[in-house]
Amino acid sequence: MGYTLTEKILREHLVNGSYKPGEEIGIKIDQTLTQDATGTMAYLQFESMGLSKIATELSVSYVDHNTIQVGFENSDDHAYLQSIAEKYGLYFSRPGNGICHQVHLERFARPGKTLLGSDSHTPTAGGVGSIAMGAGGLDVAVAMGGGAYYITCPRVINVHLIGSLRLWVTAKDVVLKVLQILTTKGNVGYACEYTGDGVERLTVPERATITNMGAETGVTTSIFPSDLQTKRFLDAQGRGDQWIPLAPDEDAVYDKVIEIDLSQIEPLAAAPHSPGNVLPVHELNLPVDQVMIGSCTNSSYVDLMTVAEMVKGQRLPHGVSLGIAPGSRQVLNTIAKNGALSDLISFGARILESACGFCIGNSLSPRTDSVSVRTSNRNFKGRSGTSGANVYLTSPVVAAAAALTGILADPRRLKISYPVIEMPEHFEIDDSMIIPPLPEGTRSKATVRRGPNIGEPPINAPMSEDIRGVVTIKVGDYVTTDHIMPAGSRLKYRSNVPKYSEFVFEPMDKEFSARAATLRDNGIHNLIVAGVSYGQGSSREHAALCPMYLGVKAVLAKSIERIHASNLVNFGIVPLTFADESDYDSLENGAEIIIPGINNALETGAEVIKAISGRKEIKLKMDLSKRQRGILLAGGLLPYTVLGNNR
């Protein structure tokens, strides 16, 4: 039986465990990336491991999330990150150089390599045949130090693409179709591997749109083969020497197969408030207030050129506001030089920095009750910065059509000819905003710059004998990390855990933080009760780190998403799932809970543990590896690693 491409690359990087889907394996990581919103904490954690340099082939620190710089906090973080890069031997991509995933794809991602990033959209690099995964910052810090990264050995879904896309239908519609089929839940522990003749006609930036938003299904990663399209892209980026051909074996066996005929896909949109809420655009016909084009999903050269061609010579309707954030300085400079930027400006677009910006809700929030059409990948309620807004996710051509007409509708009704834009044979290459690592002998002289907003990462105590506490909050299904630990205007506190902790669950329950802190100070443990798919979305480890700081000891949920579950373990919070889901109904806010003998259960490897609430006994599943139990006993991955365990 042949190997899937996922299996081939993972087997080559296997350093712990045996390759059996469903079991935990340790993987050697070749490349890491961080961004500033998760990176500062990751490097603080790296520093506390006491290592003198990074042990990866390549690590890049990007600044793309917090570039608004209102107040000193963001700039202090940037200075800290630059000084860390100087000291430990990282590349540093300066603010203004672009969004981490877009820049990594352009300049660093390589077929056959493993990449771990402290951002959930790291799988973007799967577009060039890399096994690229998102993780919490602490996991990335450990990988930078040479430690393995642990995942559940994935089952592989084969997404078999046949046929060709019709005009006005794009890669974004392909991934929206995948989301319609797979939904945003139930895919934990899987990887998506794309094959079929339809793949051959998709360029690398198109593939990257698909692997990027694959994150919304909850799969560990998504990957395309490395073929002549990959070679064409790497050649155009002046990196042709890094190309190697990679494909699954002819007789590879997959755990699931989905076939999609590209010629049958229509322009689609994800309606509020989930990327999995996918509908054909022609069913919508909605008046639009705002259109935002950009993000790591859709801000490539071809994406923006297509938009520019569509709007050239036209005028933006008075009721619509249009913002455009090119994904990288390479893209921005190219459209500046060829005149397309001027077409966009003349049309009425507001040109934003090459950064995450609007996507993370830290600028251009739409007005209350508005309809905002965005080319990004997440439309969770309130993520745009306006909880009353209705955000629809679409392709750039659907977004441009909405900007032209003020209506979110099928772009084919515009009756204009489709501007076919080719990927250039040579991209403009200028890496002057990427500072390379200093030669090794000069690094130790670099001093780390720490502003007043940057605190030490808090370290948890080892696991107590029993958990004795109360349900401090009970939440429903699909609670995202944006609900647990809001970004937007609160983002600037990422390096200041006590301050950021004041905003845990802010969008759902403003009193949570104060309530939890009081209980913690009185020696009472906090517990979170949740429904299905708890912790969807971002990789932000603050959604575990800050609850840990507030004294949360366990999450009792119907199910928990992959990255968040590992983050909980990394910060000493026990992820538990109900053996009988109906027990969820019996636990109310404020209910007292005792989980006797948790420490012992972790030590002995029990798979089920009993919790007592009043007269009721509740069975909870502990689906944890031996290593994860060790981490929980130590109080988290940092104490566990400092104790010398994670090699």
Three-state SS at 580: coil
For the chain, the C-alpha Rg in angstroms (whole number) is 24
Q: Which is nearer to ligand SF4, 295 or 496 (CB)?
A: 295
Q: Which is nearer to ligand MIC, 119 or 343 (CB)?
A: 119
Q: Which does 295 bind (CB under 5 to 8 A by kind): ligand SF4, ligand MIC, none?
A: ligand SF4
Alpha-carbon dihedral sign for residues 142, 144, 147, 149: positive
Q: Which does 540 bind (CB under 5 to 8 A by kind): ligand MIC, ligand SF4, none?
A: ligand MIC
State both tokens at 473. 């909050």
Which residue of the set 65, 104, 515, 564 is catalytic?
A: 65
Q: Does 217 bind ligand SF4 (CB under 6 A)?
A: no
Q: Does 179 bind ligand SF4 (CB under 6 A)?
A: no
Residue ranges in 289-308 that form contacts with ligand SF4 under rule CB under 6 A:
295-296
Work out how close the CB of 296 gets to ligand SF4 at its nearest, in angstroms, rounded to a whole number.
Answer: 3
Choice from 107, 113, 121, 207 touching ligand SF4 (CB under 6 A): 121
Q: Partners of 162 in the beta sheet? A: 261
Q: Does 32 bind ligand SF4 (CB under 6 A)?
A: no
Query: Which residues, including other chains, have CB under 8 Å from residue 353's CB and lie 6 or more apart?
Result: 67, 96, 325
For the chain, the first-to-last Cα distance in angstroms comes to 32
Three-state SS at 487: coil
Q: Which is nearer to ligand SF4, 308 or 352 (CB)?
A: 352
Contact segment (CB under 6 A) with ligand SF4 among 155-163, 328-336, 355-363, 474-482 equals 355-363
Asked if 234 and 240 count as a contact pair (C-beta separation under 8 A), the reply is yes
Q: Which is nearer to ligand SF4, 134 or 572 (CB)?
A: 134
Q: Is 11 a catalytic residue?
A: no
CA separation for the pair 150, 570 (Å, rounded): 12
Q: Which does 99 bind (CB under 5 to 8 A by kind): ligand MIC, ligand SF4, none?
A: ligand SF4
* Residue of 294, 305, 320 whose CA lies nearest to 377: 294
Which residue of the set 274, 538, 539, 613 is catalytic?
A: 538
Q: Which does 177 bind (CB under 5 to 8 A by kind): ligand SF4, ligand MIC, none?
A: none
Work out how close the CB of 105 gets to ligand SF4 at its nearest, in angstroms, rounded to a whole number.
Answer: 12
Q: Which does 539 bind (CB under 5 to 8 A by kind): ligand MIC, ligand SF4, none?
A: ligand MIC
E-state strands within 83-189: 91-93, 114-117, 131-134, 149-152, 155-162
Q: Is 65 a catalytic residue?
A: yes
Q: Which is nearer to ligand MIC, 155 or 494 (CB)?
A: 494
* Residue of 570, 562, 589 whose CA lies nearest to 639: 570
Work out how close the CB of 120 gets to ligand SF4 at its nearest, in angstroms, rounded to a whole number.
Answer: 7
Work out how close the CB of 62 gets to ligand MIC at its nearest, in angstroms, rounded to a whole number.
Answer: 11
Find where tokens 């609900």 sit.
Answer: 483
Degrees, nearest 5: CA angle 34-211-646: 45
Q: Does 99 bind ligand SF4 (CB under 6 A)?
A: yes
Q: Which is nearer to ligand SF4, 210 or 470 (CB)?
A: 210
Alpha-carbon dihedral sign for residues 192, 195, 196, 201: positive
* Residue of 215, 138, 279 whose CA lies nearest to 572: 138
Q: Which is nearer to ligand MIC, 213 or 260 (CB)?
A: 213
Contact segment (CB under 6 A) with ligand SF4 among 51-59, 279-287, 353-361, 547-555 equals 353-361
Q: Is 64 a catalytic residue?
A: yes
Work out how close the CB of 275 gets to ligand MIC at its nearest, in angstroms, rounded to a whole number.
Answer: 11
Q: Which is nearer to ligand MIC, 77 or 410 (CB)?
A: 77
CA separation for the pair 548, 526 (Å, rounded): 9
CA separation for the pair 179, 277 (Å, rounded): 8
Q: Does 377 bind ligand SF4 (CB under 6 A)?
A: yes
Which residue of the set 30, 64, 139, 173 is catalytic?
A: 64
CA separation for the pair 627, 136 (Å, rounded): 17
Q: Which does 376 bind (CB under 5 to 8 A by kind): ligand SF4, ligand MIC, none?
A: ligand SF4
Work out how close the CB of 484 gets to ligand MIC at its nearest, in angstroms, rounded to a whole number.
Answer: 11
Asked if 432 and 240 count as a contact pair (C-beta separation under 8 A), the reply is no
CA separation for the pair 191, 132 (Å, rounded): 11
Q: Which is nearer to ligand MIC, 29 or 471 (CB)?
A: 29
Output the 3-class SS for 427-481. CCCCCCCEECCCCHHHHCCCCCCCCCCCCCCCCCCCCCCCEEEEEEEECCCCCEH
Choice from 73, 76, 106, 119 touching ligand SF4 (CB under 6 A): 119
CA separation for the pair 259, 199 (Å, rounded): 12
Asked if 399 and 376 count as a contact pair (C-beta separation under 8 A), the reply is no
Work out how close the CB of 99 gets to ligand SF4 at its nearest, in angstroms, rounded to a whole number.
Answer: 5
Q: Which does 573 bind (CB under 5 to 8 A by kind): ligand SF4, ligand MIC, none?
A: none
Binding site for ligand MIC (CB under 6 A): 37-38, 65, 119-121, 134, 360, 487, 537-540
Work out how close the CB of 355 gets to ligand MIC at its nearest, in angstroms, rounded to a whole number.
Answer: 11
Choice from 356, 519, 545, 548 touching ligand SF4 (CB under 6 A): 356
Q: Which does 38 bind (CB under 5 to 8 A by kind): ligand MIC, ligand SF4, none?
A: ligand MIC
Degrees, nearest 5: CA angle 78-81-84: 150
Q: Which is nearer to ligand MIC, 119 or 561 (CB)?
A: 119
Contact segment (CB under 6 A) with ligand SF4 among 50-58, 339-347, 352-360, 583-591 equals 352-360
Work out how close the CB of 530 gets to ligand MIC at its nearest, in angstroms, rounded to a whole number.
Answer: 19
ω into 121 cis (within 30 of 0): no
Q: Which is nearer to ligand MIC, 65 or 515 (CB)?
A: 65
Work out how close the CB of 362 gets to ligand MIC at its nearest, in angstroms, rounded to a whole number.
Answer: 9
Which residue of the set 119, 139, 289, 303 is catalytic?
A: 119
Would you list the DSSP string of 292-342?
Answer: EE-TTTS-SHHHHHHHHHHHTT----TT-EEEE--SBHHHHHHHHHTSHHH
Choice from 376, 379, 394, 513 touching ligand SF4 (CB under 6 A): 376
Cα within 13 Å of Cα(357), Cβ side: 26
* Residue of 57, 199, 193 whose CA lies nearest to 126: 193
Asked if 34 and 170 count as a contact pair (C-beta separation under 8 A), the reply is no
List the catalytic residues: 64-65, 119, 378, 538, 540
Contact positions toward ligand SF4, by CB under 6 A? 99, 119, 121, 295-296, 356, 359-360, 376-377
